Structure 1
Amino acid sequence: MITPPHRTALLTGITGFLGPYVAAALRADGWSVRAALRRPIGDLPACDGSVLVGDLGGATDWTDALVGIDAVVHLAGRAHRPPAVQLAEQDLYFETNTAGTIHLAQAAAAAGVRNFVFISSIAVNGVSTDGRAPFRESDAPAPQSIYGRTKAAAEDGLGEVAVKTGMAVTAIRPPMIYGANAKGSFRILSRAVTAHVPLPFGMIRNRRAFVAAENVASFISFRLERPGHGMETYIVSDEEQISTAEFSRRIGRALGRNVLLLPVPEKALGFVLRVAGATHLIESILHSLVVDTGKIDRSGWRPAVSLDQGLLLALGKTPPK
C-alpha cells in the first residue's frame, strides 16, 4: 500500500460558519489542516494545529503560519452587513477583504505555496438577474455593494499575483450559502417556518441560486486536487435554482411542516420592506439571481448533496439513503 504524501493546508476563517465544513472536507481527503487565528480560542477538533496571526490586513505577518504549507484556503473576511454599516466601515472592509487577501497571497507565493483558494462572492457579478441572462464567470464585474467591490478588487489583485508568481489561484463565487448554524436570511427563514409564521411570499415568481455549505467545501477540496494554472474563477451553486416561495416550502418539507404562503403582491411587499428600513432584503426576497453552471459542470465536479439533502442536513435531519 502506497502512503499518500503528507500535505498541509493553511485555513483562514475556521471560526466562521463555513470553516468547519471546509476543514472536515480537507481532512477527509487526506489534508492536514492548520488554522490561522486572530486570537486564541479553545479546542479545534476539525484542525490539526493552529497559529496566531492577529487581524487580517495588508500588514499581517504570515511568516510562521506559512512554514511547510502546500495550499492556502482563504475564507476569512468582513462579511455582509446592512449598506449603512458597510458605508461607515468602508475602509475596514477594503483593508480586510482586499488588502488582507492580496497580502496573504503574496506571502504564500513567496513561501513557495503553489495553490491558493479564495472564497469570493456572487456579489462581484451584481445583485439581480432580472431582465438579463444568468450570471457567468466571464461577465464584467458589476458589484452593487461595498462588500462586493472589496471582493472584486481582491480578485483583481489575486489575478496579478497569479501572473507574477505562477501560483495557481481559484476564486469561488457562491450565492447564498445555507447550512447548520448559518446566519442571516436562512436562519431567519428557518426559524419563521419552525414557528409556523405565515410568510408573504405566495405571489413571488423569481428564481434564485443557493448552495449548501457541503457543496462549497466539496468544490474547494476538488480544486485543491486539480489546481490548474494561473487564476480561475468559478460560480458554485446547487443544481436546482428555485423561487423564494419554493425555497420556503422546501425548508418546511425538511422540517415536516406545512408553510403558509400569503398572496401578497410583490410591489406591496417591497413597499413594506422599504418602510421597515429593510431595503437590503428586497433583492434576496423579491428579485431573481440565476447563475450559469456551465463552467462548473465542465470541470467534472458534481454537488456532494442535492438542495433537499442540504436542507435536511442544515436543519439537523438525516437525509434518506
Structure 2
Amino acid sequence: MRVAVTGANGFVGQALTERLEANHVDTIGLVRPGRHNGVATLRQTDYRDKNQLRAHLSGCHTVIHLIGKAHSKSANAWQDYCAVNVDLTLEIATAALMAGARRFIYLSSIKALGENTPKGRPFDYATTPHPQDNYGKSKLAAEHELQQFFKDTAVELIIVRPPLIWGKNPKGNLASLLKWAKRGIPLPLAGIQNQRHWVSIDLLCEFLTYLAISRENLAELPPLLIADPAPLSTSDAIQKMARANNVPLKMFSLSMRAWKILQHIPLARNSARKLSGNLEVDATQTNELTGWQPAPAQQEQVPLRKEHTPPC
C-alpha cells in the first residue's frame, strides 16, 4: 500500500513519514522544490501543476493532506487563508481522485468548531461548528467543499480535527511566550486554572497512520476528534514546553479579573482568550467510530519533540 503525504517537510509531515516508514509503508512525501525532509522518498512538487501532481499521486491508495495556512497579517487575510486551506486543498483532492486514490485524509483543526468551551462542557461529536477566526472558518469551509467533492465518488474522505499539537519550537502565541522566557521576561501565567486539551505529535501520527493503512471501511465518518487523554492548564503547558526547550521560566500571577479585562481590549482580546480560556475535547467516541486503539505508551502524556520547518 502506497501513501502520499503533502507537506512532508513540516512538523507533522516529517514525524508522520517517519512513523509510516517505520511501519514499512511505501511512503511518498510531497514538498515544494528546494525543500527537504531526510526520511521519506521525496518528490519535489509544484502543487499548482495538475499534471505533475497527478503523476506523483499515481498508484497511491491514500493521500494525507497536511498543508495549511495558520497565520496571516495581510489586509486580505481571508483570501490568503482560502487560497491555501480551501482552493489548494480542492486542487490536491482533484488530483488524488484522478490518480485513483481510494482514501483522502484531511488534517483540519478543532478551530473549525470554535475557540473556547465552557469549563466541563467539551467539544464533542454533537457540537455545532461555530468557528471564530479566519483560520477556523477556512478549515470548516474546506471540510464542506471536500464533503461535496467526494460525495458521489468511491473515495473514502476522512477529516481529522486536532487541537494544538505538542512540540518543541511552537508557533503563534506559544512561540512568542518562549521567546520572552528566553530573554528572562517573567510571564503572567502562574495560577491559570483553565482546562485545554492538546494532542502529542506521536499520538496524532499514530492515529493518522492507522487511518491511512486500516483495512476497515472508513467511509461516511463524521469529522474525527483526537486529543490527549487529559487536559492541561496553560501554565502547566508552558512549563512543559519550557523544559522541552531547555528554557528557564519565570512566571507570576494575574488575577482572573485582569484576564477578563484583557479579553475586552481589542489588541489583547484574542491572545488573552486563548491563554486563559478553556478548550476541552471529548474524543472518546473516536475509538468506537474507527476501531482504533492507541498503543499503551500513548495513553500517557508523551515527550515533546522538535518542530521543523513549515509544511510545503
The TM-score with structure 1 as length reference comes to 0.82
SS at the partner of 1:242? coil
The alignment status of 1:53 with 2:41, answered yes or no, reads: no
**Aligned residue type for 1:68:** G
Instruction: State the Cα RMSD in Å.
Output: 2.9
Greater CA drift, 286-295 or 93-102: 93-102
Q: 1:123 matched to which residue of 2?
A: 111
The alignment status of 1:166 with 2:160, answered yes or no, reads: no
Q: 2:165 aligns with which of 177, 180, 200?
A: 177
Q: 2:86 matched to which residue of 1?
A: 98
The alignment status of 1:292 with 2:285, answered yes or no, reads: no
> Offset of 1:23 from its aligned partner?
0.9
Identify if the C-alpha distance between structure 1 residues 38 and 251 changes in structure 2 by more than 3 Å, giving closer, same or farther: closer
- In structure 1, how many angstroms separate the alpha carbons of the residues matched to 2:300 and 2:202? 10
The alignment status of 1:26 with 2:20, answered yes or no, reads: yes
Q: 2:294 aligns with which of 302, 305, 309?
A: 302
Identify if the C-alpha distance between structure 1 residues 307 and 196 changes in structure 2 by more than 3 Å, giving closer, same or farther: farther
Cα pair 1:86 1:146 within 8 Å, conserved? no
Cα pair 1:33 1:47 within 8 Å, conserved? yes
SS at the partner of 2:19? helix
SS at the partner of 1:163? coil
Cα pair 1:120 1:172 within 8 Å, conserved? yes
Residues 130-170 of structure 1 deviation map (CA, whole Å, 9 limit, x = unaligned): 26721013322111111111110111122223321121111
> Offset of 1:109 from its aligned partner?
2.0
List gaps (5 residues or longer) in structure 1.
Answer: 1-6, 316-321
> Offset of 1:12 from its aligned partner?
0.8
The alignment status of 1:111 with 2:131, answered yes or no, reads: no
List gaps (5 residues or longer) in structure 2.
Answer: 308-312
The alignment status of 1:242 with 2:232, answered yes or no, reads: yes
> Offset of 1:60 from its aligned partner?
8.1
Q: 2:206 aligns with which of 218, 223, 230?
A: 218
The alignment status of 1:277 with 2:271, answered yes or no, reads: no
Q: 1:39 matched to which residue of 2?
A: 33
The alignment status of 1:15 with 2:5, answered yes or no, reads: no
- In structure 2, how many angstroms separate the alpha carbons of the residues matched to 1:212 and 1:93? 25
- In structure 1, how many angstroms separate the alpha carbons of the residues matched to 2:280 and 2:48? 35
Q: 2:310 matched to which residue of 1?
A: none
Greater CA drift, 234-243 or 178-187: 178-187
Give the % identical residues.
Answer: 24
Cα pair 1:236 1:296 within 8 Å, conserved? yes
Cα pair 1:120 1:171 within 8 Å, conserved? yes
The TM-score with structure 2 as length reference comes to 0.84
Residues 8-41 of structure 1 deviation map (CA, whole Å, 9 limit, x = unaligned): 2221112322211111111112222222233333
Cα pair 1:249 1:259 within 8 Å, conserved? yes
Residues 62-100 of structure 1 deviation map (CA, whole Å, 9 limit, x = unaligned): 32222121210100121234xxx2662211211211122
Identify if the C-alpha distance between structure 1 residues 128 and 52 changes in structure 2 by more than 3 Å, giving closer, same or farther: same
> Offset of 1:202 from its aligned partner?
2.6
1:192-231 mapped onto 2 (5 Å cutoff):
192=180, 197-226=185-214, 228-231=218-221
Cα pair 1:54 1:60 within 8 Å, conserved? no
Residues 172-212 of structure 1 deviation map (CA, whole Å, 9 limit, x = unaligned): 11111121343223333445556654321234221001111
Cα pair 2:47 2:92 within 8 Å, conserved? no
Q: 1:76 aligns with which of 56, 67, 85?
A: 67
